[in-house]
Amino acid sequence: MEELRRQVTRARRRLILQQFIDFFVWTLFAGLLVAVIGVAIPKIWPINVDAYVWAGSWIAGGILGAAALAGILTYAVRRKSIDAAIEIDRRYGLKERISSTLSLAPQDLESEVGRALVDDASRRVAKIDVRERFGLNMNWRAALPLVPALFVFGLAILDNATQRSTAKAAESKTADQEQVRKANEELKKRIQQKRKQLESDKNVKDAELEMLLKKLEAGIEKINASEDLDRKQAMVELNDLKKEIEERRKQLGDSDEMKKQFNQLKDLKTGPADKIAKAMKDGDFKEAMNQLKQLSDKLANDELTEEEKKQLAEQVGEMKDKLQEMVKAHEQAKQELQEQIRQAEQQGNKAQAEKLKQKLQQMQAQDQQMQQLQEMAQKLGECQQCMKQGDGKGAAAQLAEMMNDLQEMQADLDQLESLDELMDQIADAKNSMNCDNCGGAGCEACMGNGMGQFGMSQQQGFGNGLGAGQGQGDRPEEETDTGAYDSQVRAKPKAGEAVMTGVADGPNRKGLSREAVKQEMESSLREDSDPLSNQPLPRTQREHAKEYFERFRKGGA
């Protein structure tokens, strides 16, 4: 029995060693791949470590780590004694004598049959040499670690990247970072000042603007907190913040377009609402709200004469009609643009289609404003009805509700102006980052404080103002009439070089080869109508056809 256990132990050790080798091939492959990455780092970025120490550490770490991981995996799934006994029986053809003997319980070993089985197994196992058929096997996978090993060797003989960070370069980088941080701090102060201005006003619109300001402030703090601050990266981050402002601005629409919408409120009949119509036509919503408040109080206190009430009813109805016409014209213009886009796409004119889509997006950005105009027209209509019925208080209530719409539109205008101011401040901050005069603190040369063509120096040159001439940095974008026009020139093409690209089948005929085309079409039609007997059918269709023919043969169809 001792000899049997000794042979089983030898076989088990060899099986476990084979397991370790199999695992080690893969873990060594992975470890050397990691070593390739580690050895490649100083070839790209300079480091203050000896090249041989660095490479040797990564290589040794990869090999030792692979061996440790292979050992852990081998221990986790190591072969047991019964597994080794089964392998001995299988490889030497002992017909489960060894495994059966080891699996016997102690009381079974003392029986007559058990002793006979042990004697037979011991006698047979004494004649074998486990080393003969339990050798270590290696396959092609054992060569896998050679691939990353070659890469490691190739990288190890290359020179490391040179250390370019001299003292002067380090000082220059520090100065650039300081300038970027200073410019961002100035921008942050301006944003904080704007937030303080909004603290007194707690309406929804300003709350949304305040949230945007908080987000911008957090973004600036994140840029300044970066240890490896780079001027280019900082400007990219500011551009991302600017895009968020532009997205919010698109949602609100265009302030100029908003004011132009009320230009149609002219040539109204005279009456008590003259000042209201004039203020709305001029885009002065604050004055319009003041006049509405006064007129609403007069209606509520019944201070208007019958003639003034009649005039007011006519004015209110006329204003309602004009507002509804504005909304209707807006929807009609959108539909016409959509039709033009569809026609341009059908004609394959992608450039024209994209241009029309941009115009459509601009008009869709005004949908919220059109909704406000529609609500105002509805309130004016209800006010007119109240006036006709002699309900002055009801008319005053409708005018008071109309004040809320004007207040909301004024909040949109204020927010648009604030967003434009923020975009200008971001542009100034970007200019300050590149300014050599102020080091990021902001000055006349970089903050856009020039006075147009002659600038601040009263000399004609490259000022930084918004007047005529060439300036620097970002400027408000506005579509300018350049006087361009489209023209069509009738070309007279002449015979050019003939290039042969291939040959066509069929007889040579003058004009179109209609006969050849006709023959091809007739041939294709005949071929399509012919039944295909060799075409494979899907499985479901095959089963259906098979069932049909079987029923047909049996007479059940």
State the distance between the two ends of the chain, measured CA to CA, in whole angstroms: 78
Distance CA 275, CA 287 (A): 9
Q: Quote the pLDDT of residue 64.
A: 92
pLDDT of residue 129: 67
Please compute Rg for the chain using Cα positions.
44
Of 465, 473, 477, 466, the C-alpha closest to 430 is 473
**Residues 136-189: pLDDT tens digits?**
777 788 888 888 888 888 888 777 766 544 444 555 667 677 777 777 777 777
Residue 205 in this model has a pLDDT that exceeds 70: no
Q: Summarize pLDDT for 251-270 with one digit per residue, the tens.
A: 766 666 666 767 766 767 77
**Mean predicted confidence (pLDDT) in 56-70:** 89
Judge whether residue 230 has pLDDT over 80: no
> Does position 66 have pLDDT exceeding 80, yes or no?
yes
Q: Look at residue 102 in the predicted model and tell me its pLDDT.
A: 64
The structure's pTM equals 0.42
pLDDT at 68: 92
Looking at residue 46, what DSSP letter applies? -
Question: What average pLDDT is seen over the chain?
Answer: 73
Q: How far is CA 351 from CA 275, 466, 484, 486, 487, in A?
A: 46, 31, 17, 14, 17
User: Tens digits of per-residue pLDDT, 492-501?
Assistant: 555 555 556 6
Q: What's the pLDDT score for residue 376?
A: 81
Copy the structure tokens of residue 153: 């060797």
Q: Which range has highest mean pLDDT (117-121, 194-198, 253-257, 376-380)?
A: 376-380
pLDDT at 556: 54
Dist. CA 100–CA 8, nearest whole Å: 13
Percent of the chain with pLDDT over 70: 64
**pLDDT at position 496:** 56
Q: Are 156 and 55 in contact (CB under 8 A)?
A: yes
pLDDT at 323 over 70: yes
- What is the average per-residue pLDDT within 285-299? 80
pLDDT reported for residue 112: 66
Is the distance from CB of 121 to CB of 1 less than 8 angstroms? no
How many CB atoms lie under 10 A from the CB of residue 48? 6
The predicted pLDDT at position 535 comes to 57
Q: Please indicate whether residue 50 or residue 121 has the higher confidence score (pLDDT).
A: 50
- Say what the pLDDT of residue 458 is: 38
Whether residue 548 has pLDDT greater than 70: yes
pLDDT score of 44 more than 60: yes
Does position 116 have pLDDT exceeding 50, yes or no? yes
Give the position of tokens 């949602």. 251
pLDDT tens-place string over residues 67-115:
999 899 888 888 787 777 777 667 767 676 666 666 666 666 666 666 6
Greatest mean pLDDT range, 2-16, 23-37, 178-192, 465-479: 23-37
* Nearest of 266, 368, 392 to residue 318 by alpha carbon: 266
DSSP, residue by residue, 450-508: --TTSTTTTSSS---SSSSS---S--------------------------------S--
Q: Please name the amino acid found at residue 56.
A: G
pLDDT digits over 497-529, tens only?
555 666 666 556 555 556 666 666 666 555 444
Predicted pLDDT of residue 155: 82
* Segment 443-492, tens digit of pLDDT: 766 665 443 333 333 334 444 444 445 555 555 555 555 545 455 555 55
The per-residue pLDDT for 462 is 42
Q: What is the DSSP string of 63-86?
A: HHHHHHHHHHHHHHTPPPHHHHHH
Asked if residue 419 lies in contact with residue 413, where contact means CB atoms within 8 angstroms, the answer is: no
Q: Quick check: 327 pLDDT over 80?
A: yes
For range 411-431, the mean pLDDT = 78
Q: What was the pLDDT predicted at 460?
A: 40
DSSP 337-367: HHHHHHHHHHTT-HHHHHHHHHHHHHHHTTH
